[in-house]
Homo-oligomer: A and B are copies of this chain.
Amino acid sequence: MTASARPSASTRPRLSKERVLSAAMVIADRGGLSGLTIRSLAKELGTKPMSVYYYVASKDELLDALVDVVFEEIELPDPDGEWREEMRRRAHSARARLKQHCWAIGLLESRASPGPATLRHHDRVLDCLRRAGFSAKLTAHAYALIDSYVYGFALQEASLPFEGSDTVEEVAEPIMALMATGEYPAMVEMATTYYLQPGYDFADEFEFGLDLILDGLERRRR
């Protein structure tokens, strides 16, 4: 009785910025950004809403910090490695993390204050390219290109209709409705002959574009 009335040390291990951030990640991964409120966060932490404000100045700052945590999870390229392999590894890692934390993509826009992990990530990428012999100009081009592709691919993946649906039916039904209208014949043709084939996975498209981009960059590097 007395123990449950005073859940101090053992049951509530003290708050910290790390605990706040990781709880926020859990909530966002589970229910999206709309599920992440100061109150839901406090509940997840076993405290009261106003307590989290001791570690985070505002919800905006919380979101900025969350984006930085996502970047922290992305593998860094090794500046001394072979640049193509390093870029490929980084790109795959970034895509995977952004898929897992797809709520983060919408945050990239509107947040213009990158955190330390984000800056470190960018720095390592630029360094890797420069050391591989890219000129400053080509490095800038390559960087914009690769990152655009990675972010854009993640964005498309996040907004795909067939995301968590298990059966083909779930996906095919709206397509059938489209077919009935006859307004989008090219989409219907692509869907029936390609997208809806068994075993199709949009994520597999990633490799093709990445190869094409890295090939083109290598050609221009020389």
A residues near B (Cβ < 8 Å) are 32-33, 102-103, 105-112, 116, 119-120, 122-124, 126-127, 130, 136-137, 139-141, 144-145, 147-153, 155-156, 158-161, 163, 178, 183-187, 189-190, 193-195, 202, 205-206, 208-209, 212-213, 215-217, 220
Contact = CB atoms under 8 A, between A and B. Distances in A.
Contacts of A153: 144, 148, 152
Given A120-B184, A123-B187, 10 more contacts: A105-B109, A108-B155, A111-B159, A112-B163, A120-B183, A136-B193, A140-B195, A144-B156, A209-B213, A212-B213
A211 B43 CA distance: 51
B144 A202 contact: yes
Nearest to A111: B159
A144 B209 contact: yes
A106 to B, nearest CB: 4
Given A130-B186, A159-B110, A184-B119, A209 B148 contact: yes
A148 B156 contact: yes
A161 B112 contact: yes
Given A194-B136, A216-B213, A208 B145 contact: yes
Contacts of A202: 144
A151 B155 contact: yes
29 contacts: A33-B110, A103-B110, A106-B106, A108-B158, A109-B159, A110-B159, A112-B163, A120-B184, A122-B187, A123-B183, A123-B186, A126-B186, A136-B193, A136-B194, A139-B194, A140-B205, A141-B205, A141-B208, A141-B209, A144-B156, A145-B209, A145-B212, A148-B155, A148-B156, A148-B209, A149-B152, A152-B152, A209-B213, A216-B216
A209 B151 CA distance: 14
Contacts of A193: 136
In the A-B complex, the 4 residue pairs with the closest CB atoms: A152-B152, A148-B152, A145-B209, A127-B186
